[in-house]
Structure 1
Amino acid sequence: MSFVLGDTVKQDAERSVKALLSHVQSEQASRAVPIYLMLNTAEPLTRQSDHTPRIIPLRNRLSKLSEERVLLITKDPSTPYRDALTKKGSAIADDELIKEIVTLKKLKSIARDYRKLTKLFNEYDLIVADHRVYKFLPNILGAKFYLKNKKLPFMVQMAKPDPEAKLVKGKKSPKLKDERCHPEYVKSQLKSIAKNTYFVPSSGDCISIKVGFSDWECGKLLENINDVVTFLTHGKFRPIGGVIPMDKLKGVNVKTSTSMAMPVYKKADKTTQSIDENYDEFNF
């Protein structure tokens, strides 16, 4: 595997990942925990509040869609989407990939009761919403979901974009609406969300991205680390990726949610010592 940050950094990354895995397994041998890649940047990725996850493709999947409890939030009324997605023989219904479908109106009602909102938070692993209602979710779900990006909803489209799509007139409004729903297209988006990782543009100088778990082999984690850094630094992945030019990447570390950060890469300058010179400080 060609490492985007170079062979020397790959060696440093391998050493740090192995040390981190050894530490986690000695401390928490009974369960696997997520491994995060921390990227420090010279400039913020955004100046505005942004809570929309962007998918980063990985060669080693984080999860299977069949392992996730999925909640779908739709426009009102949900009938066109519910009928298509729950119809016998559809790509979604046969595998019971979506556990519950609620409308935006129903979600607002649930959110008024904090106990019901907490139940919703705990009951579902993955929350997705029609892109046409997605912008309303931060005000409805609030800090329970959005503070520290605890359980961010993902945006999906109910059908493939098509300028020639047939629009229908709403019952309560003369405005034409797109009520198409393509189960196969929805399924493909859900599979991508479950399989891959994501990032949220930060208004600070650091972003955190899940790259695997502590019961993985070191090689699989290195592959996912390389995938993440490549996607975020290479211009060919714009406009979603390529948001961190290589000269703006100050440092890369790996850690769990509770461990200290282990060094992978640090941008060289006249006063910077090499990772080799300082590595003993990071031995557990």
Structure 2
Amino acid sequence: MNKVSYIDVEIVRKAVKALLKFSRGEDKNSLLEEDELLYLVIALKKVPQKPRHDKPIRIPIPHPIYVAENAEVCLFVKDHKGEGHKAAKSKVREERVAGISKVVGLSKLRTKYESHEAKRQLCNSYDMFAADERILPSLPKLLGKAFFKKKKQPVPVRLTGKDWAGQIRRACEATYLFWSGGNSLAIKVARSSQSEQQGVENTLAAIAAAVEKVPRKWDGVQAVFLKTADSVALPMYQVLPDAPTRIDQ
């Protein structure tokens, strides 16, 4: 038993192996055209007494889910009356910022992507979304539910400096914990095209980092699961519910 994580590494390995086999179909050597994501799900004993926080917590993992050079990233930027995104596009092009496939200004997000269908298509068109950290509070209402259901909420990048390429690379090299206000957390930990060992190492790293952010840490964790979007949740850790506190009359 790993005393640091309270998780048996072999149980994690079995869960990763089973989900990779499920994701890849009957032939374990042939991958699907599109990778499936593996999600770490942490069930909490109590709903955290903290407000919903749309700025995610960065979780370092040893094997990036996305590589900036190969990822399809959409970048949301600050603009004013349609001006601003053109300069951002020029900077991305001139500096050859790897990974950025599209730049969308906040004003265009309000108009061109106003309908639910437009939002859904945008969500499905890119691997991940990044946003100038200054506009992050404005995005939840503009993006709608599609991004949250797909776990594709934009991650913040600092665009006030010069090193945009470094910011995008750093964003791609981690996974993220979003406080949704509920009693469970879902964190992307691997892709089905990654190896079993990479999946195991990413999962263990994400568990250790995420539990540190949970109120009361392991004392606040009810269960830990691993799943894909379409699979059952495979349990890796569970404890009995806390007994109710007796109140003497």
TM-score band, normalised by the shorter chain? 0.7 to 0.9
Equivalent pair of 2:131/2:155 in contact (CA under 8 Å): yes
**Cα distance in 2 for residues equivalent to 1:259 and 1:196:** 24
State the TM-score, normalizing by the size of structure 2.
0.78
Counterpart mapping for 1:43-122 below 5 A: 43-45=46-48, 47-77=50-80, 82-83=86-87, 86-87=90-91, 93-95=95-97, 97-114=99-116, 116-122=118-124
Quickly say closer, same or farther: Cα 1:153–1:247, change in 2 above 3 A: same
**Cα distance in 1 for residues equivalent to 2:184 and 2:40:** 10
Q: Number of paired residues?
A: 238
Name the residue aligned to 1:251. 223
Aligned residues: percent identity?
25
Matched, 1:224 2:202: yes
Structure 1 gap ranges (5+): 160-181, 235-240, 272-284
Name the residue aligned to 2:232. 260
State the TM-score, normalizing by the size of structure 1.
0.70
**Cα distance in 2 for residues equivalent to 1:225 and 1:219:** 10
Name the residue aligned to 1:153. 154
Counterpart mapping for 1:161-240 below 5 A: 182-184=161-163, 186-234=164-212
**Cα distance in 1 for residues equivalent to 2:8 and 2:178:** 25
- SS at the partner of 1:67? coil
**Which of the two has higher C-alpha Rg?**
1
Matched, 1:4 2:4: yes
Structure 2 gap ranges (5+): 244-249
Displacement of 1:245 = 0.9
Equivalent pair of 2:68/2:98 in contact (CA under 8 Å): no
Name the residue aligned to 1:18. 17
Bigger strand share: 2
Quickly say closer, same or farther: Cα 1:33–1:85, change in 2 above 3 A: closer
Equivalent pair of 1:3/1:226 in contact (CA under 8 Å): no
Equivalent pair of 1:44/1:202 in contact (CA under 8 Å): no
